[in-house]
Amino acid sequence: MTTKQQNFADMAQTTYNKLQPYKASWENIPEFVSLENELKETLNGLTTFDKEAKIITTGSTSDKSGAKDQAIAAVVKISGPAMVYALNNSNLTLHDQLNVSKTKLRKMQDGTLPQRLNGIIEEIEKIAEPLAGYGVKPEDIADAKTKTETYTAQVNTPRGLITKRSTKIETVADYIDLLRDILYRLDKMMRLFAGTEFHRDYKNARKIVDLGSRTASPSQTTN
């Protein structure tokens, strides 16, 4: 939820909680009981959808970090012998293209690293046959390629998560609108208790408190 939505939800929950000590005053009023139940169910629904909206990307980030390290390790493993092959064949251009280390690769941004890794693999694939004499097996090259593809997929995963999260946030906003409607009707029903301690406590509960300043919003109307 946004801060504004959270402030409103907190106020709605406080209002619901404040109704409970005075249940004897309203439990025989069918419409009031119905509104109290609607408020409870809507708050529960909001909590559920908010949890879904807060799609945790920590797992995705962790997976990406692991995939990145594995891809780098696999590529560096085969690039070393390939560099020696390039030197033995006086191909300094190829040597420089393959001249990478785990440290240098780890410092690269996710937006450019996949391309760099794929570039190295492509060059090594061109000399796969002679590299067999340098201890580089076809499965080693295939492993580097697979792990780089996995890492690339992980880099793109958060984009989908953000899109899904945005959709859920729209649903949270819908729940906030439902709460507004329920509380508006409760405000009117509370006129039955005007001048009572119940009414005073209810009005105090209906004041929105900003999470940052913890001060009540003067614009909240409960009449």
Write out the H or E segment, with its range, that includes residue 5: helix 3-19
pLDDT given at position 218: 39
pLDDT given at position 64: 75
Does residue 60 register a pLDDT over 80? Answer: no
pLDDT average, residue stretch 120-134 = 96
Mean pLDDT is lowest, of 37-41, 144-148, 156-160, 213-217, for 213-217
Q: Where are the domains of the chain?
A: 3-56+162-205, 62-160
Q: In terms of Cα–Cα distance, which of 218, 68, 46, 89 is closest to 157?
A: 68
Q: Give per-residue pLDDT as tens, 137-163.
A: 999 999 999 999 999 888 876 555 545
Residues 6+ apart with CB under 8 A from 127: 82, 85, 94
**Which tokens is 192 given?**
């039955």
Bigger pLDDT: 140 vs 49: 140
Is the pTM above the cut of 0.85? no
Percent of the chain at pLDDT > 90 equals 68
Helix (H, G, I), strand (E, B) or coil at 218: coil
Does residue 108 register a pLDDT over 70? Answer: yes
Strands (DSSP E) contained in the chain are none
Does residue 216 register a pLDDT over 50? Answer: no
Q: Residue 21 — pLDDT band, cuts 50, 70, 90? A: very high
Bigger pLDDT: 215 vs 6: 6
**Which tokens is 87 given?**
């030197």
Asked if residues 6 and 46 have their Cβ atoms less than 8 Å apart, the reply is no
Bigger pLDDT: 12 vs 65: 12
Bigger pLDDT: 48 vs 179: 179
Distance, CA of 157 to CA of 167 (rounded, Å):
16
pLDDT given at position 52: 64
